[in-house]
Structures are given as C-alpha cells and as structure tokens.
Chain A
Amino acid sequence: EPEVTQTPSHQVTQMGQEVILRCVPISNHLYFYWYRQILGQKVEFLVSFYNNEISEKSEIFDDQFSVERPDGSNFTLKIRSTKLEDSAMYFCASSRSSSGNTIYFGEGSWLTVV
C-alpha cells in the first residue's frame, strides 16, 4: 500500500536554529497537510496545501513556519528560530481530495529542541 514517508524520524536541535522537516506524500494525492502532536496532547492542525499554495492554516502556524513543495514530490515544513515549545511529533499527511477521502499520515518526525 502506498504511504507517506517522512524524514528525519528524529531530530534534536538547539533553540534558535532552523529546522526543515521533509515529507514525500502519496504520488497521486493533491492535498498535503502538516499536523503536530506535543507529547501527551492531541494532534493539532498546522497547515493545508493545495495547488502550490496554502489553503488553510491554524493560529499555531505563524511567521516562524513555512511550507514548500520545491520539486513536485517533496513537501517540506520549515521552522525558523526554534523554541523549546516547538518540541513535538510533526506529522505530514496527504489526501486525494479535500473532503471525503481518507487522509493518510506519515510516521512522524520527532523534533526535540534543547
């Protein structure tokens, strides 16, 4: 079965550094998402992306965050000037459509900011 793949699986970074999390969505999917889950808390929506632009974003997704689809296959989340509270599992997801289809999640990138 096709799957969403994410790299790295785990990254430790110093506070203030920039981090790029990478994702390869399922190949025929058109909608891409980033979610995050702080340890012990529920999964939270960050951003959705369609047709090479952001279609929706949450209050969490401020100027510190950006997304990009640089080459037609990768979908990246960049976090500038990381803070301790950015430590979380970041999930990439993709779907074929925006409403009724299954959204497939990757295995996550665990980010630890020290």
Chain B
Amino acid sequence: KNQVEQSPQSLIILEGKNCTLQCNYTVSPFSNLRWYKQDTGRGPVSLTIMTFSENTKSNGRYTATLDADTKQSSLHITASQLSDSASYICVVRTGTASKLTFGTGTRLQVTL
C-alpha cells in the first residue's frame, strides 16, 4: 500500500531559526515528490517538485532534498518567519497514476 509518513508531527521554533522536516515514503512506482504548504482552512500551495534524478531543489528559503534509494525526503526552512507557521505536507505521485498520495503533514509554529 502506498504510504507517506512525516515527522515530526508538530514543531515549534523561534523566529529566525532553521528547521528540517522529514518524509519517508513507500510508493511504487515513484514519479515525483512534492512539498506543499497548507495554511489552516486553506488549499495546499506547491513549494517544490522533485523527480527521481533530482537530489536537491530550492525555492527561496525552502530547500528540499530527495534520496530515492532510501525513499526519504526533507524540507529545510532557513531563517524562519512568523508567516511560515502552517502545515507542511509531503506528497508523492506514483508513476502511472494521476493521483497524489498525501502525508499527514508537519504542523510548524514559528513564535517570537
């Protein structure tokens, strides 16, 4: 069964600090991996998309990594801001399917 697991479940950090969120997946065949940001009560917004051959991809203060051998990904947020408070969701697409498999998300809270 295709599954996407994320850790930690929740995280509180001080403004200006960095953090790293983890994602493990058991999806086959793998097509690509995406990180989304979801504010409470809003739709998910895409941050990055990574294919099998990509190890790292950055989008501003967000840097995603992918290890397709160990089926792990991480999302690193640099110099966090209060507006980064949201759920960060790891999403994997299988090779032949049009659907996405969502993780449960990491709820990040950035405080003063």
Residues of A within 8 A of B24 (CB): none
Number of interface residues of B (CB under 8 A): 23
Known contacts: A42-B103, A42-B104. The answer to whether A31 contacts B44 by CB under 8 A is no
A78 and B19 alpha carbons, distance in the complex (Å): 41
Q: Which residue of B41, B89, B100 is within 8 Å of A108 (Cβ)?
A: B41
Known contacts: A43-B89, A103-B46, A108-B42. The answer to whether A98 contacts B98 by CB under 8 A is yes
Residue in chain B with minimal CB distance to A98? B98
Q: Is the CB of A50 within 8 A of B98?
A: yes
Residues of A within 8 A of B51 (CB): 100
Known contacts: A43-B102, A102-B49. The answer to whether A56 contacts B97 by CB under 8 A is yes
Known contacts: A99-B32, A100-B49. The answer to whether A45 contacts B99 by CB under 8 A is yes
Q: Is the CB of B98 within 8 A of A31?
A: yes
Interface flag for B81 (CB, 8 Å): no
Q: Is the CB of A56 within 8 A of B99?
A: yes
Residue in chain B with minimal CB distance to A48? B98
Q: Is the CB of B32 within 8 A of A100?
A: yes
Number of interface residues of A (CB under 8 A): 28
Residue in chain A with minimal CB distance to B99? A45
> Which residues of A (1-57) have their CB < 8 Å from a CB of B?
4, 31, 33, 35, 41-45, 48, 50, 55-56
Interface flag for A107 (CB, 8 Å): yes
Known contacts: A99-B31, A100-B49. The answer to whether A55 contacts B43 by CB under 8 A is no
> Which residues of B (41-97) have their CB < 8 Å from a CB of A?
41-46, 49, 51, 89, 93, 97
6 contacts between A and B (CB under 8 A): A33-B98, A45-B100, A50-B98, A105-B45, A107-B42, A107-B43
